[in-house]
Amino acid sequence: MTTAAETFEAVLTANDHLSVDADGHLMIEETRASDVVAQFGSPLFVFSEATLRGNYRRAREAFAAVWPGPVNVMFAIKCCPNMAVRAVLFDEGAGGDCFGIPEIEATFAGGADPSKIALNGGNKTVEELDRAAELGITVNMDAAEEIDLVLAAARRTGRTIPVNIRFKVMPPEFTDFTSDAFPIAGDFREGLRRWKWGVGEETAIAMVERLKTLPELDWTGWHAHYGRMSNALESYAAFHGEYGRMIAAVHQATEVAPRVIDMGGGWSRERDPESRSTETPGAPIEDQAATAVGALKTALEGAGLDPAGIALWPEPGRYIAGNAALMMTRTGLIKHDIGFCWINVEASENNLPMICKEGSVNHVTVASGMDRELAMDADVVGPICIPSVIAAGLKVPEDIATGDVMAVLDAGFYAEGEASLINSVPLPGSVLVSGSEAELIKRAQTWQDVFATQIIPDRLRHTDLGDNLWRG
């Protein structure tokens, strides 16, 4: 039989700052994971600062190695809406992507260079556009109708607004497409056509021609977003090759060259839970960058565009944050019946929605006594009133007990941002580990926080039902 440590060490990647010490404890950098739980409680997101920094640097080096012009690696804060994480990445030089006022303000709270920040969204408000203008960030326009709205913001604020145009990219190769992350198989082009984002080639040409006449708007280039639809390298080549062809076509029609190409996100991880399998790892970021950028450059150079004069803006948010956090949780009641074992834990689908809603397969392990043999099958489940299966048929030590600490890997992306409040379970806090130090970067909610925005009208209040925070 194998031990928990052996199984754990077999799935580690080069950028994980995780290990098992001589006593069988999971270590995050130089800190015992179980000690962090003892200090800050459970459930708990625990981030490794070294992993965040290492992932950013590796991504930047990967794209800079294959692109001759400037490279701005952007971190979309929707991926991990934590201001301390943003502060670490700003310290490294990261740009960013925002939707709406909350994400703009959180991005700048952590630190941001306005020239490296973009505002996205298909229905931007007056407040959002004015704030973008005041800060000097780029607005990625999603429709021809948006030009008048951005122009009005420029005139209200007296600022020139840099703008990109988002393309709707539908590669011909996607007539026969299979996604490892979603139940998509067959001709994906019609699905892309119906998605709300981006504009077609003819609309893009008309938008550029109009922007030529508007000095208040500084057209800088293009934006497209593939998203995490597949981790197959050929899909990156197809998407970005078609993106490059569209850029080239508009250049030839308008005789205007872009200064920025925003490649969007969707860059997978080597330990890739979104593939819904432990058997289909993602390609190294170096291979993803070389494949996508190679296809893009070929199309641009074929139209006489020199990449050296264009800034590249990749958005590898899930790559940067994905393995930088673990969800730590204590075990509760352990149930044996009808030939099955269920290990209840304090974490749940509230905290890890991608596992339960999208079928992601994350590595789950005990975090102490990792030298024990994995001798028993169990389902690890959350405490809420839906199945909330965090791991099905997980091999665990036979003597696992209530109060043991477990860890869910790759909890750094689309976990906090997509968390829910089903059963009114408060959301967990977050801690940042740096070497042997652990610091609270987000406090856990209380049940009072969950209901803090609710109001019972006076006419419905009853004062004879006993002591209660809201009825008194």
CATH number, domain containing residue 174: 3.20.20.10
**Which residues, 6 or more positions from 466, have their beta carbon under 8 angstroms from its beta carbon?**
none
In a domain, 424, yes or no: no
Q: Which of 419, 435, 462 is the last residue of a domain?
A: 419
Number of domain units in the chain: 2
In a domain, 243, yes or no: yes
Question: Residue 96 forms beta bridges with which residues?
Answer: 75, 117
pLDDT level of residue 469 (50, 70, 90 thresholds): low
Q: In the structure encoding, which two tokens stand for residue 347, read together?
A: 């974490």
Residue 464: what pLDDT?
67
Assess whether 381 and 302 both reside in one domain.
Answer: no
State the average pLDDT over residues 109-128. Answer: 97
Residue 460: what pLDDT?
87
Residue 275: what pLDDT?
85
Alpha carbons 432 and 440: distance in angstroms, whole number: 6
Q: Name the least confident of 247-256, 356-365, 449-458.
A: 356-365
State the average pLDDT over residues 238-245. Answer: 97
**Which residues, 6 or more positions from 229, have their beta carbon under 8 angstroms from its beta carbon?**
177, 179, 181, 182, 184, 188, 235, 266
Q: In the structure encoding, which two tokens stand for residue 285, read together?
A: 């970021």
Residue 184: what pLDDT?
87
- Side chain identity, residue 175: T
Alpha carbons 130 and 371: distance in angstroms, whole number: 57
Residue 351: what pLDDT?
87
- Average pLDDT of the chain is 94
State the average pLDDT over residues 266-292. Answer: 90
In a domain, 179, yes or no: yes
Assess whether 305 and 332 both reside in one domain.
Answer: no
Q: Phi and psi at residue 311, in whole multiples of 5°?
A: -85, 135
**pLDDT of 84-93, one tens digit each?**
999 999 999 9
Residue 360: what pLDDT?
86
pLDDT score of 470 more than 60 = no
Assess whether 42 and 55 both reside in one domain.
Answer: no
H/E stretch holding 311 reads strand 311-314
Assess whether 91 and 19 both reside in one domain.
Answer: no
Angle at 406 between CA 402 and CA 408, to 5 degrees: 145
Alpha carbons 294 and 237: distance in angstroms, whole number: 8
**Which residues, 6 or more positions from 299, have their beta carbon under 8 angstroms from its beta carbon?**
241, 243, 244, 245, 247, 248
In a 3-state reduction of DSSP, which class is residue 250? helix
What is the maximum span of the chain, computed from C-alpha positions, in angstroms? 80
Residue 468: what pLDDT?
65
Q: Phi and psi at residue 282, in whole multiples of 5°?
A: -80, 160
Assess whether 378 and 280 both reside in one domain.
Answer: no
In a domain, 76, yes or no: yes
For residue 363, what are the CA distances in angstroms to 92, 373, 419? 28, 17, 19
Q: Name residue, tokens 């004069």.
A: 309
**Which residues, 6 or more positions from 32, have their beta carbon under 8 angstroms from its beta carbon?**
21, 25, 26
Assess whether 225 and 169 both reside in one domain.
Answer: yes
Predicted model pTM: 0.95
Assess whether 248 and 336 both reside in one domain.
Answer: no
pLDDT score of 461 more than 90 = no
Assess whether 28 and 106 both reside in one domain.
Answer: no
Best CA proximity match to 222, nearest among 283, 149, 169? 169
Assess whether 14 and 131 both reside in one domain.
Answer: no
Q: At 26, which CATH number?
A: 2.40.37.10
Assess whether 110 and 259 both reside in one domain.
Answer: yes
Alpha carbons 20 and 25: distance in angstroms, whole number: 5
State the average pLDDT over residues 126-152. Answer: 98
In a domain, 461, yes or no: no
Backbone torsion region of residue 459, taken as left when φ is above 0, otherwise alpha when ψ lies between -120 and 50, otherwise beta: alpha
| Domain limits for position 144 | 49-322
**pLDDT of 58-77, one tens digit each?**
999 999 999 999 999 999 99
pLDDT score of 278 more than 80 = no
CB 206 within 8 A of CB 143: no
pLDDT score of 471 more than 80 = no
Assess whether 149 and 22 both reside in one domain.
Answer: no
Q: Which of 322, 343, 361 is the last residue of a domain?
A: 322
In a domain, 161, yes or no: yes
In a domain, 304, yes or no: yes
Q: Where are the alpha helices (DSSP H) in 140-275?
A: 146-157, 189-194, 201-211, 233-254
In a domain, 120, yes or no: yes
Q: Which of 281, 302, 322 is the last residue of a domain?
A: 322
Assess whether 96 and 221 both reside in one domain.
Answer: yes
